[in-house]
Amino acid sequence: MNFIRSLMIASSLVVIPTVVLAQQPPAPPATPAPAADTTEIKLDESTTLRAAALEARISAVLANFALLQRQAQDLQQEMTKMLEERKTLIQDAGKKATVDVKDPNEWAFDNKGQRCLKVRRQQ
């Protein structure tokens, strides 16, 4: 059971930073419109190439963050479905065995004994 809670906490820790990153306003355009009081820095050829390479890498990292966010959301949805299936399974098994299953999260599967055991809460 602690394993499931750990997974849920870990998945929320993955989603929170990526959601924060995704909610940040987009970066300003690389070539702003010229204004009367615009200050500029002229770059030589090698510095321009380095700046372009850095901008491309930054874009790639942002795209990877967006992909990770989507994957984390998919995993979170999948985990929610699995927890619902587990809840139903434990409740149905409890009905068949005439055991009162108040909270399905208090039960852990024992693979060797092919049974579910009620886990004692530690305080």
What 3-state class would DSSP assign to 65? Answer: helix
Q: 93, 116 in Cβ contact below 8 A? A: yes
What does the pLDDT read at residue 24? 59
What does the pLDDT read at residue 14? 53
- Tokens 């579910």 map to which residue? 116
Q: Please state the pTM of the whole predicted model.
A: 0.55
CB-facing half-sphere around the CA of 95: CA atoms within 13 A: 5
DSSP state of 82: H
The model's pLDDT over 3-44, given as tens digits with 9 standing for 90+, comes to 555 545 555 555 555 545 555 555 555 565 666 678 899 999
Q: Kindly indicate the confidence band of residue 1, based on its pLDDT and cuts at 50, 70 and 90.
A: very low
The model's pLDDT over 92-102, given as tens digits with 9 standing for 90+, comes to 998 888 888 88
Residues 6+ apart with CB under 8 A from 107: 1, 90, 101, 116, 117, 118, 119
Return the axis-axis angle of helices 2-23 and 45-96, rounded to nearest 10°.
150
